[in-house]
Structure 1
Amino acid sequence: MTASSWLLVALPALGALILLLAGKRAKAWGHLLGTATVALAFVYAVILFFSTAGNATENVNLYSWIPAGQLQVDFGLRIDALSLTFVLLITGVGMLIHFYSIGYMADDEGRYRFFAYLNLFVASMLILVLGNSFVTLYLGWEGVGLASYLLIGWYQNRPSAATAAKKAFLMNRVGDVGLALAIFLMFKYTGSTGYTQVFEGLTNGQIPPGAITAIAILLLLGACGKSGQFPLQAWLPDAMEGPTPVSALIHAATMVTAGVYLVARSNVIFSATPDGRLVVTLVGAVTLLIGCIVGCAYDDIKKVLAYSTVSQIGYMMLAVGLGPGIYALGIMHLVAHGFFKAGLFLGAGSVMHGMNDEVDMRKFGGLAKKMPITFVTFGLGYLALIGFPFLAGYYTKDAIIEAAFGQEGWRGWVFGLAGIIGAGLTAFYMTRLMMMTFFGKSRWKEIKSTDGRDFHPHESKPIMWIPMAILAIGSVGSGAFFAIGDRFENWLAPTVGAYHEAEHAPISAAAIPWLTLALALIGALLAVWIFRPGRDIPVERPQRVSWVVRAARNDLYGNALNETLVARPGTWLARALVYVDNRGVDGAVNGLAAALGGGSGRLRRLQTGFVRSYALSMLGGTFLLLAALLLVRFS
């Protein structure tokens, strides 16, 4: 079966190619073709999953891609437990998002093109996780960046969407530079970019310790760009400018998970550098807190979920940064997150669909009665996210917090407290979202009476709520799967190492889940009290707020930080270089050309064309030569 594993990539890629070539002729059937190709890829992935031993790694070399002297890169696929886990997530959740998009984008004139971009997204992500070398991964990495740019900027008539797409593209290029430099260093020391050769070269001592740490940090920079981690997290919330299915695809199954995959795939490198792992855990801890704090202050339902993704990816990065024995927990939370976050985004899209594309939660309220299916499916995803007992997040996030507390010395306290505080904040902002959206009085009726806007909230069509229901079942059912022994950890062990529980927890390991649950309960109850149904919630958000809320509304000044440290100095440097180029390089070249032109113009005047002038010049030259000879002779 693995010999034909290239079909996993070929099917969605072929769908994208056909739709782009067919153009407007695919209006009537483009969405069907795009969905069918991803569905077939998912079916093949399931067959491949059951036909593969799981504990074996198989490399399928398709052809020689870059034969250039010492650089020999084969285009090949690596089939193992880690790649198959991601393939099932990408194609499975991606298929459901495709089905949902059929209904969501039904009235869009460019729906065929939208599905072409979705297929390109899925195909690029499959190349990324299936490639057997870092160069092949980089190909998929850039393909995902292109597809995200096209989809985030889908509504091209909106300046905010165009700006968001450009912002995502440019900030990801910053991370991509780090990944490219890491690949260069790997090739320098091992003479290869293939996973097997690089990892063997590392274990054989071909890469010095300092270079290992440098490679790890550069890989992390690439991961921060794709996964929206500090300090490159500012593009991810702005990506909500794209259609909601795009948000679900980016945040649940594809783009933001790429950084976690990169660190997990490179676990041999990170396991060899404690300093590199420490940086990863610090980035994860800082990012999860940033996402939680900012998520508490936003009123845009999609942006709240976006910062929730920033935070949850922070948990995953924290887990994979904890090192040998813990990598599997990050992947486990990633899989659970794929279910409930995709369901939450599709639920948000269903709410928007019924509310004339309104995203401000202050203008919602009382939608549980109007949209009961959306309420139930969204509610199950909410419970899984906040770590409600026996749902997916309860088993995955709590395990990460316990592993964080299990680190030695100050690390156990810092990372453990970051994780547990994040759990409480997550319960608060997600309960706030639920209360403002589905409970209380119907504030949308007040808007109709004040500014004339008309809302007719209604349940979405079956083509939209059926995928939401399946994802809700996954949010519940995956918890039961994770609860049974160490099945998932054992499945991943051949690729990311055997899992082992924490050994140095500063507090009782048995008390950590209860403490986490208590903080989550406090956060949820606090949100219920503040936004209880009887309380009047203003339709317009208050402007006079505390400095904490103001900072959170401004993304904790992440954009200002990037502007100050990167954008403005970059602009000044570019202007200085332009000045040097214009006045220095171009000035020297142009000055030399002007001197030659002016000199030749003056010398040209000596060429009169008259023989008598030339004879006089020759006579004058002769007298000068004789005078010089006489001067030399008698001096």
Structure 2
Amino acid sequence: MPASLLAIPLLPLASFVITLLVGRRWGARAHWLPIVAVLLSFCCALAAFFRVQSGVIINQDIYTWIQSGNLNVSVGFLVDQLTAVMLIVVTSVSSLVHIYSVGYMKGEEGYYRFFAYLSLFTFSMLMLVLGNNFLQLFFGWEAVGLSSYLLIGFYYNKRSAADAGKKAFIVNRFGDFGFLLGLFLVFTLFGSLHYHEVFGRVGELEGQTINLFGSRVNAATLIALLLFCGAIGKSAQIPLHVWLPDAMEGPTPVSALIHAATMVTAGVFLIARCNPIFALSPATLNLITVLGAVTALFAATIALVQTDIKRVVAYSTVSQLAYMFIGCGVGAYSAGIFHLFTHAYFKALLFLGCGSVILGMHHEQDVRSMGGLKEKMPITYWTFLLASLSIAGVPGLAGFFSKDEILLMAFNTDLAAGKFAWAVGTLVAFMTAFYSFRLLFLIFHGEFRGTEEQRHHLHESPAVVTVPLMLLAVGAVTAGWFGVPALLGGDNHWAHFLEPVLGHPHVHVSAATEALLMGSSILAGVCGIGLAYYLYRLKPQLPSLAAERLAFVYRLLLNKYYIDELYDAILVKPTLAFSRKVVLRIVDMACIEGVVNGLPKAIGAFAERLRRLQDGQVAHYLAWMGGGALALVAVLLIGL
């Protein structure tokens, strides 16, 4: 195995260990090792990509990890077309986030610790995508969960940040439980957890059923559903979406890394990697498609009215991830990964652009206190504009090509849910363009609505912040050019590159129909931008008037359909009450404490009473001896 391949995850791991141990001594220079390590990792990832492009696929075990009975699992790497793409996404975005963080986190307490955690996050995601078996995937899966907990709760003295970190960790446990059951079932049926063995024999699942609570269930469907549980949690789809918006409590660079390149993309990667299993279960694919469409619409409607700059982008991420699920659900796995690829750059740019605005606004995050920042922050404005145009699906930019590919494949599929997903996806494209430009207009145009102190501090961010923005802007524009469709004169190199791993469904719609579908999505985006311009530039008084007249709907969306309150009422509070009344009082205090503390107390009480017999009175001793002899004679007589 090439040493450069081993270096891809090991460099961030070494950076994490060294920075955590001695970074405190380096002070303001603690960022150098993590940045150099991730940049070298990116260079090695590029080398791996070009090696795969030339036809070299690596699937090699490094050493035996677990050997027990029939279970034999190694630590190994699989570097194919899918892995190569993910390596580029993770290392490139992580590199820019590391550099950006030098400016954003300057002067923060725990500066070295932050960069150590970033390195751990990068290592965890790299191990997830590099693994050649399910158990190594699960190791990376849980490691990114740990990393997100550490980074979301980085400001641990801040109650909301600590709660958000715990919320992300706990909510993901629900999905991970199903995922783990899926791994158990895979091993039970195949006797192996290695991809090449499982996927090579996946045809054995056709027609195979499993007795589940007295009912016969299709084996492929059950495995796919259990694996999908994990994907729902990590990629924040309904009903496990609630952790992702709250993750905004962490530093903005963390938000960019989570939303663009690491944790939330793991669920999409899982479905794409396990496509041979999912392809055997049309029922699961229909479920993925419907859930993706519902989540996309659900999150987009919430994003329409949010006032926290980062929450708008956070709900945008939930919605865009749902597009990826639609792509995978209709069997167009390469389209789903294509949107993952383009989304990484324009979403990282949006988040880091938000961070630049927050810096310029002296840590203000309410868009109602912004406005007119275009002149003061020109680089942030133009890069943010490019990201907004890209996510809105404006032709020629990255988001247009990947989103359009998914909508085409949703319309093209024979799955029952395909046309529904296409219709919802087109509607969400309109909403996405609207809330993206609503955010842009509220931040950068119009009159400044902040305080005089904020106006005084308003300034463009330093170069260490703006240079990563400009580099990401290049990706937000050009990343989609790898998948230009034939209708626009391209060859869709993206689909051809990933076809050996993910396949590529045949498009059976006519060129005229494809052009009509493309035109409808473009029209949806243009109308969304136009409506945002009309409401927030030409008639800025109308949004508040609409909020008053549609007060119920406005409050419903602003409060995120009260899902958090519902979960709090039916899950959190009953669980806490049960824990206090049953677990704490009965199990802990009565049973455990009763045994642990009660037994010594009983022995002590008995010893105290026994000690009183030793009072030094000879008459008492004679009485006890006489009584004992009498009792002994009585026992002997009864025995006779």
Determine the structure 2 residue equivalent to 1:480.
Answer: 481
The answer to whether the Cα contact below 8 Å between 2:24 and 2:30 also exists between their aligned partners in 1 is no
Q: For the residues of structure 1 that align with 2:329 and 2:131, how far apart are their CA atoms?
A: 23
Deviation at 1:250, TM superposition (A): 0.8
The answer to whether the Cα contact below 8 Å between 1:362 and 1:540 also exists between their aligned partners in 2 is no
Helix, strand or coil at the partner of 1:75: strand
Mapping for residues 157-556 of structure 1, pairs under 5 Å: 157-205=157-205, 208=209, 210-323=218-331, 326-408=332-414, 410-444=416-450, 447-448=451-452, 454-483=455-484, 484-501=490-507, 508-532=513-537, 535-536=540-541, 546-556=551-561
Deviation at 1:512, TM superposition (A): 1.5
Deviation at 1:558, TM superposition (A): 2.1
Helix, strand or coil at the partner of 2:375: helix
The answer to whether the Cα contact below 8 Å between 1:59 and 1:132 also exists between their aligned partners in 2 is yes
Amino acid aligned to 1:27: G
C-alpha distance after superposition, 1:95-150 (max 9, x if no partner):
11112112222232432222111111111110010011111111111221121112
Deviation at 1:55, TM superposition (A): 5.0
The answer to whether the Cα contact below 8 Å between 1:292 and 1:307 also exists between their aligned partners in 2 is yes
Is the aligned partner of 1:563 residue 2:568? yes
Deviation at 1:67, TM superposition (A): 2.2
Helix, strand or coil at the partner of 2:374: helix
Q: For the residues of structure 2 that align with 1:100 and 1:613, how far apart are their CA atoms?
A: 86
Residue range with higher mean Cα deviation, 543-552 or 281-290: 543-552
Amino acid aligned to 2:463: P
Amino acid aligned to 1:124: S
Amino acid aligned to 1:231: P
Q: For the residues of structure 1 that align with 2:336 and 2:409, how far apart are their CA atoms?
A: 11
TM-score norm. by structure 1 comes to: 0.90
Q: For the residues of structure 2 that align with 1:498 and 1:410, how far apart are their CA atoms?
A: 19
The answer to whether the Cα contact below 8 Å between 1:248 and 1:346 also exists between their aligned partners in 2 is yes
Helix, strand or coil at the partner of 2:112: helix
Helix, strand or coil at the partner of 1:193: coil
Determine the structure 1 residue equivalent to 2:487.
Answer: none
Specify whether residues 372 and 537 from structure 1 end up closer, same or farther in structure 2 by C-alpha distance, changes over 3 A only.
farther
Listed as ranges, the gaps of 5+ residues in structure 2 are: 210-216, 485-489
Amino acid aligned to 2:73: V
Helix, strand or coil at the partner of 1:531: helix
Residue range with higher mean Cα deviation, 424-433 or 203-212: 203-212
Helix, strand or coil at the partner of 1:231: coil
Specify whether residues 559 and 269 from structure 1 end up closer, same or farther in structure 2 by C-alpha distance, changes over 3 A only.
same
Q: For the residues of structure 2 that align with 1:33 and 1:260, how far apart are their CA atoms?
A: 31
The answer to whether the Cα contact below 8 Å between 1:384 and 1:393 also exists between their aligned partners in 2 is yes
The answer to whether the Cα contact below 8 Å between 2:103 and 2:462 also exists between their aligned partners in 1 is yes
Q: For the residues of structure 2 that align with 1:390 and 1:584, how far apart are their CA atoms?
A: 68
The answer to whether the Cα contact below 8 Å between 1:82 and 1:495 also exists between their aligned partners in 2 is yes
The answer to whether the Cα contact below 8 Å between 1:27 and 1:110 also exists between their aligned partners in 2 is no
Helix, strand or coil at the partner of 2:338: helix
Deviation at 1:551, TM superposition (A): 1.3
C-alpha distance after superposition, 1:494-514 (max 9, x if no partner):
111234225699x94432222
Q: For the residues of structure 2 that align with 1:623 and 1:2, how far apart are their CA atoms?
A: 89
C-alpha distance after superposition, 1:409-446 (max 9, x if no partner):
752332122111111111111111111111111222xx
Q: For the residues of structure 2 that align with 1:269 and 1:583, how far apart are their CA atoms?
A: 48
Deviation at 1:43, TM superposition (A): 0.8
Q: For the residues of structure 2 that align with 1:143 and 1:181, how far apart are their CA atoms?
A: 18
Deviation at 1:571, TM superposition (A): 2.9
Q: For the residues of structure 2 that align with 1:41 and 1:367, how far apart are their CA atoms?
A: 36
TM-score norm. by structure 2 comes to: 0.89
Helix, strand or coil at the partner of 1:369: coil
Determine the structure 2 residue equivalent to 1:42.
Answer: 42
Deviation at 1:545, TM superposition (A): 5.4
Determine the structure 1 residue equivalent to 2:587.
Answer: 581
Helix, strand or coil at the partner of 2:348: helix
Deviation at 1:396, TM superposition (A): 1.0
The answer to whether the Cα contact below 8 Å between 1:54 and 1:80 also exists between their aligned partners in 2 is no
Specify whether residues 156 and 205 from structure 1 end up closer, same or farther in structure 2 by C-alpha distance, changes over 3 A only.
closer
Deviation at 1:486, TM superposition (A): 2.2
The answer to whether the Cα contact below 8 Å between 1:408 and 1:504 also exists between their aligned partners in 2 is no
The answer to whether the Cα contact below 8 Å between 2:390 and 2:399 also exists between their aligned partners in 1 is yes
Amino acid aligned to 2:528: G
Specify whether residues 244 and 55 from structure 1 end up closer, same or farther in structure 2 by C-alpha distance, changes over 3 A only.
same
Specify whether residues 400 and 622 from structure 1 end up closer, same or farther in structure 2 by C-alpha distance, changes over 3 A only.
same
Determine the structure 2 residue equivalent to 1:8.
Answer: 8
Q: For the residues of structure 1 that align with 2:454 and 2:57, how far apart are their CA atoms?
A: 58
The answer to whether the Cα contact below 8 Å between 1:373 and 1:465 also exists between their aligned partners in 2 is yes
Specify whether residues 306 and 609 from structure 1 end up closer, same or farther in structure 2 by C-alpha distance, changes over 3 A only.
same
Specify whether residues 432 and 205 from structure 1 end up closer, same or farther in structure 2 by C-alpha distance, changes over 3 A only.
closer
How many residues align? The count is: 621
Deviation at 1:601, TM superposition (A): 9.1
